[in-house]
Structures are given as structure tokens and as C-alpha cells.
Structure 1
Amino acid sequence: MRTRAFVALTTGALALTAVAVPAAHADDRPTGSALPFSSASAAAAPGGPKISNVSVNGGKTVTAGVSKKTFNIKFTAKDPQGIDFGIAALWRGGPNADRAEKLLSIADHTNLDNLCKRVDSTTSTCTIKVLADPKAPIPEGDLDNANAGRWNIAVYAEDKRGNGTENQRYGTHYVKRAAKATAKATPDPIKKGKTLTVAGSLTRANWDTNKYAGFAGQSVKLQYKKKGTDTWTTVKTVSSNSRGKVEATTKASADGSYRFTYGGSTSTGSVSSKADAVNVT
């Protein structure tokens, strides 16, 4: 098996996580290029592997709190000669997305030769465990608030002849700041027809301070589920205050549970609080 090299991606003074590319291609990187797996010969290699079925986190949005988050990028690589190597990453660039200014790369650099599992003589399934760490030191840090949102997917595969296929923008995937919600209904028990107050909070992860903080000015739904049913019904929509606090009132009608639900945004994940059951007398 050929020796591979790690090539550090650099954008100005910003040194990003090293990404493995074949050593044979290391000198072919275009001058000034800082895209994952970028190499002129890999892009131009005739008859390189076919890459398909790329999936990030099983198709679900990646939501990260204030600690390390790992998830998988999977894809299928196929070539008549068989697959020797594959890798993938998420990256974000500048205004024109022509340089990787942030990179989420593999969590374990010690197992590179085992990222792809053979399905048959021509096909392999590659699984890359990716690390997102808001507590990593800057400038090497992976996550900060400004980079919550849509990331580019980069994939690379190489056949057993050394021909590589790369796609810097196979697609996109969202990496969002995690949110938390709470809800408490009072009084409990309560007489039918009386006013019930549900109070709680909406907070979200701050990747710059590594703490959760109140999420102000957001639309939050108060939902109700009658005891013995599985259906949640929206009672009303309220806004979180400057500290992320939410409060709503409603008339008690029957035994059931209440919760607050936030639908999320392009930078923040959706969340529902735990249900709080209320007895109506």
C-alpha cells in the first residue's frame, strides 16, 4: 500500500486541521489552494472511482452543544479495480467559498487505511467519523457562532491504481447550535376552566463562550396533549424575552401535558421541552 501524506490546509494565518490526500498528489495542489483534498491530478485522473450515496449524520442535521460532537459521513465508492482509500470532510469558506476557512475532519487519524470496507471486488462503503469541537483552541477551533449554518461536503476516493476522484462540493449539510427548552405548568392540580400558567426558558449553545445562554426574541409554541392520546396541539405562540424566558396562559380543560416547542432556524436546532403533566379536577 502506498504511503499517504497529511497536507495542512492554510488560509493566511489560519491553520486548519490536516486532511489526508495521497502523497503522489501532494505536489500537485494548485498554488494558493486551500480546499479539502484539492489536487489537480486527482481531479483530472481518468477513470477514477465513482462516488455516490453520500450521507452526513444519517441525513439528520448536526446539532452541537458546548462539548465535542462526533458524527459519520458515509459514501459508496466504485471502480473496476477496487477501492483503496476514501475520506470526507465538511468545510466552510469565504464569500465565494473558494478557500476552506473552517474544516470538520476525521476524529481519528490513526486508522486511515480502514475507513472503507469492501462490499465486493469493485465497491466499498466508506465511513468517516467526524469531530466537531467548540472547545478546540482558536484558530484551530472547529466551531464558532459565525459558522453555524450550511457547510460544504467534500469527498475523495482512490482506486487501487492510484487514480483519485474528488468532489469539493458534493452537496451541503447544516451544522447548528443546539437549543434547550423547559416548561412548568402551575397550579397542579387545577380546577376545570381555571387559568393555567406555563413558564419556561429557551436557551442555545454559545460556541464562543462554551455556555448555554438565553435565546431572546424567538417564537415558541405552547402545545397540549390530552391524557391518553399521542397528538400534540398548538395552543398559542409566544416570544422569548431578553433572557430567553417564555410564559403562556391557557384555560384548563382536561388532564393532559404541556410543553414548549421551538422550530429552529438556519443556525439553531429545533427543540421541545419535556412534557409537564397536569391534573384537572
Structure 2
Amino acid sequence: MRMRATGAALVGALALTTLVVPAAQAGAAEVETKITKVVVNGGKDVVLGTRAEKTVTVSLTATHPDGIEQGRLYLWHDDGTGKADNIVFANEDWGTCTEIDDTTSICKQTITFDPLLTPGRNEHAGTWRVSAWAMSPGGHDTRHETKTVRVQRASKLTVNAGPEPVTKGRKITTTGKLTRANWDEIAYKGYADQPVKLQFRKAGTSTYTTVKTVRTNSTGNLSTTVTASKDGYWRWSFGGTTTTPAVNATGDYVDVR
């Protein structure tokens, strides 16, 4: 079951998660159950649009001389003070653990992000923390900051270059727009004041070269002019930020005569 929790309810949820270890395991600090690795979404950022859900795989690797019995993970967003203001639990209560050998197992779960609920607000884009818990017959290991993962607002980038065709030596005007998912308004909105590269690829080649960098205006729009010299493709390229992924526009061909 997944849910979004805030305020006191969230603090309670976090506290409960740290206390789900059976009483028999209390005081077992001398037993070395260790979480050695955590992976979220194959090591890639989680990118969300405005409506579509996304399910990712999370896993932990843990070890103990007597083997690993159970494992579980969840993700939470730090409000800037070390406290959680949003949380998303795995779809399964417990992970499916697969033995690597007699002492070590990998436990996997799935987590579903719904942009309308988790994260649900623009302020929750960026770095999320991963909490993991593993239990063995002889002890447990609980870690609330084993790893971080970026949860980002999906981006889009358009381009239009012209006139087409154009006489060599004349000016080409290239326009476009950079937008990203706005979870507050459930729509794509312009991404203001961002550096975006204008790039060119000569016809018959496969590599783009940066010509200049232009910043988006207050509504995410882009516009610049260059001198026409060769047939080829023009595109905009955005390098991304912590909250928004990199994106390239599809190249627009201009015939120079």
C-alpha cells in the first residue's frame, strides 16, 4: 500500500517503521546485520509528468552470517530541517528476498509515484531520501538515509527554425519553448530564466555543435538569430537542474541555398 503522509501523521509513520522489529531482536546490536547496498530505479532519476503514474523497483542488499529473512524500503522528502514532509511506501508490505549465498540476499519491492499525490506539489521536486530495513535471525539493520534519489518534473522542449529554404548569408530565426510539469496546476508551464544551448548539426553528420546559449524568458520562450551558411538541423538543448531533467528538442532541418 502506498500513501502520502504529512505533519504529525508522517512523523508517526516514520517512528512506527523504526519499531517494527520483533521484540526478540531488541538489544541485538552485537549481531552484525548489515545493509550494504540500496538501488532505486536502476540508479536513474524518477521523472514524472502531470498525470501518469510511474512504478519503479527499489532494492536492498543485506548480509548476516545466518542469512537475511526480510527487507523493506520507503522514500521520503526532507523539508530542509531533516524532517519528512512527504513519504511514499512500497506497494508490497515486504520485499521479495533472493539469496545470493548463505549470508547475503537482495530484497526487492516496487514503489508507485502518482504526481497528483506523491510528490503532489512542486516544492517536493528534487532530492528524496531512502530508508531501508533488513532483518536476519540474529538482528536487524535500520537506516533512514542509505541513499538519495532525485524525483523530477518532466520537461519538454520545442524548436522552429526558418525561413525554409533560406539564402546563404541571410538570417535564420530559431524559436522554441522550454516547459516542465507543474504539479500544483496539473499542466506543463514555461520554465523561466534557464540557459538553453542552440545547437547545429550539418547535413550528413551525426554530431551537434553548440552555437550560442540563450536564456528563456518569463514564460519559457526562446528566440535568437544566426547567419545561414550550411544545410542542416537546428535544435535547442537544455542541460537540466536538480528538479528538472535535461531535454533536447528534435532537430529542425533548414535548407540553405
TM-score by length of 2: 0.86
Q: Is the 1:132–1:143 Cα contact (8 Å) retained in structure 2?
A: no
Q: Is the 1:259–1:274 Cα contact (8 Å) retained in structure 2?
A: yes
Q: Is the 1:36–1:154 Cα contact (8 Å) retained in structure 2?
A: no
Q: Is the 1:226–1:257 Cα contact (8 Å) retained in structure 2?
A: yes
Among candidates 42, 45, 50, match of residue 61 of structure 1: 45
1:91 aligns with 2:67: no
Q: Is the 1:255–1:278 Cα contact (8 Å) retained in structure 2?
A: yes
Displacement after TM superposition at 1:277 (Å): 1.9
Paired residue for 2:28? 45
Displacement after TM superposition at 1:34 (Å): 2.9
Amino acid at match of 1:53: K
Q: Percent identity?
A: 39
1:105 aligns with 2:106: no
Task: Tell me, in whole angstroms, the C-alpha distance in 2 between the residues paired with 1:260 and 1:36.
Answer: 48
Paired residue for 1:178? 154
Alignment of 1:153-168 (within 5 A): 153-159=130-136, 161=137, 163-168=139-144
Paired residue for 2:129? 152
Paired residue for 2:224? 248
Distance 1:247 1:9, change over 3 A: closer
SS in structure 1 of the partner of residue 256 of structure 2: coil
Task: Tell me, in whole angstroms, the C-alpha distance in 1 between the residues paired with 2:149 and 2:27.
Answer: 26
Moved over 4 A (4+): 8-11, 40-44
Paired residue for 1:264? 240
Return 5+ residue gaps in structure 1 as ranges.
1-5, 17-30
Amino acid at match of 2:147: G
Q: Is the 2:28–2:138 Cα contact (8 Å) retained in structure 1?
A: no
1:34 aligns with 2:14: yes
Q: Is the 2:47–2:154 Cα contact (8 Å) retained in structure 1?
A: yes
Displacement after TM superposition at 1:206 (Å): 0.5
Paired residue for 2:165? 189
Q: Is the 2:5–2:86 Cα contact (8 Å) retained in structure 1?
A: no
Return 5+ residue gaps in structure 2 as ranges.
none
Distance 1:188 1:168, change over 3 A: same
Q: Is the 1:203–1:215 Cα contact (8 Å) retained in structure 2?
A: yes
Amino acid at match of 1:149: G
Paired residue for 1:26? none
Task: Tell me, in whole angstroms, the C-alpha distance in 2 between the residues paired with 1:37 and 1:263.
Answer: 38
Amino acid at match of 1:120: D
Paired residue for 1:127? 108
Task: Tell me, in whole angstroms, the C-alpha distance in 2 between the residues paired with 1:94 and 1:36.
Answer: 19
Q: Is the 1:9–1:35 Cα contact (8 Å) retained in structure 2?
A: no
Paired residue for 1:142? 119
Displacement after TM superposition at 1:121 (Å): 2.2
SS in structure 1 of the partner of residue 42 of structure 2: helix
Can you list the C-alpha shifts for 1:103-157, whole angstroms capped at 9, x where unaligned?
Answer: 1221x23xx4552222222221222222221213xxxx43311111111111111
Displacement after TM superposition at 1:180 (Å): 0.6
Task: Tell me, in whole angstroms, the C-alpha distance in 1 between the residues paired with 2:26 and 2:132.
Answer: 12
Q: Is the 2:7–2:85 Cα contact (8 Å) retained in structure 1?
A: no
Task: Tell me, in whole angstroms, the C-alpha distance in 2 between the residues paired with 1:52 and 1:156.
Answer: 11
Displacement after TM superposition at 1:48 (Å): 4.5
Distance 1:266 1:186, change over 3 A: same
Task: Tell me, in whole angstroms, the C-alpha distance in 2 between the residues paired with 1:209 and 1:36.
Answer: 33
Paired residue for 2:254? 278
TM-score by length of 1: 0.80
